[in-house]
């Protein structure tokens, strides 16, 4: 398992991108809308550490309570089905069963930690040997 990114919910994508790139010096990677989730996401990264942040703006959600900004942590897993088979008997709660976004190539699922923090699991497509 490999930690991929931390996602935070933002009020304004443009203001947040300006802050993370111009103020903090992170580098812009990409930005896209996800119509089926009513969201827009953008990725920035630290060129020194490789750490990545996903900025998520939810359509119609411009106000939130303190603490709601952490959206999810994302981990890459080799085999999503095998991982879920291993953790379900340990009481891990699955918030979203495996699925694939339209136009995407990775399989995704979400589990919850004991504090109800969402953990995204990403299985990348296998490359032929």
Q: Please count the other Cβ atoms lying within 10 Å of the Cβ belonging to residue 56.
A: 21
Q: Which residues are catalytic?
A: 120
Q: What is the model's pTM?
A: 0.74
Classified by CATH at the fold level, domain 7-70 comes out as 2,3-Dihydroxybiphenyl 1,2-Dioxygenase; domain 1 (3.10.180)
**What is the token pair recorded at 52?**
């990545």
Q: Which residue has the tokens 């896209």?
A: 32
> What pLDDT score was predicted for residue 62?
73
* Chain centroid offset of residue 69 CA: 13
pLDDT (tens digit per residue) in 25-62:
899 999 999 999 899 999 999 998 899 999 999 998 87
Nearest residue to 107 via CA among 76, 85, 128? 76
Residues of the chain with CATH 3.10.180.10: 7-70, 77-129
Q: Please count the other Cβ atoms lying within 10 Å of the Cβ belonging to residue 6.
A: 14
Q: 77-129, which class in CATH?
A: alpha beta
Q: How far apart are CA 78 and CA 125, in angstroms?
A: 9
């Amino acid at each position: 398992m490999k930690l991929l990114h931390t996602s935070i919910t933002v009020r304004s994508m443009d203001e947040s991108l300006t802050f993370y790139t111009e103020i903090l010096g992170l580098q812009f990677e990409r930005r896209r809308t996800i119509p089926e989730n009513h969201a827009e996401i953008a990725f920035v990264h630290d060129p020194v550490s490789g750490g990545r942040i996903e900025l998520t703006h939810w359509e119609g959600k411009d106000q939130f309570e303190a603490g709601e900004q952490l959206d999810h942590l994302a981990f890459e897993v080799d085999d999503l089905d095998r991982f879920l088979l291993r953790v379900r008997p340990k009481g891990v709660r699955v918030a979203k069963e495996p699925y694939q976004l339209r136009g995407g190539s990775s399989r995704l699922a979400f589990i919850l930690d004991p504090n109800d923090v969402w953990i995204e699991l990403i299985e990348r497509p296998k490359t032929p040997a």
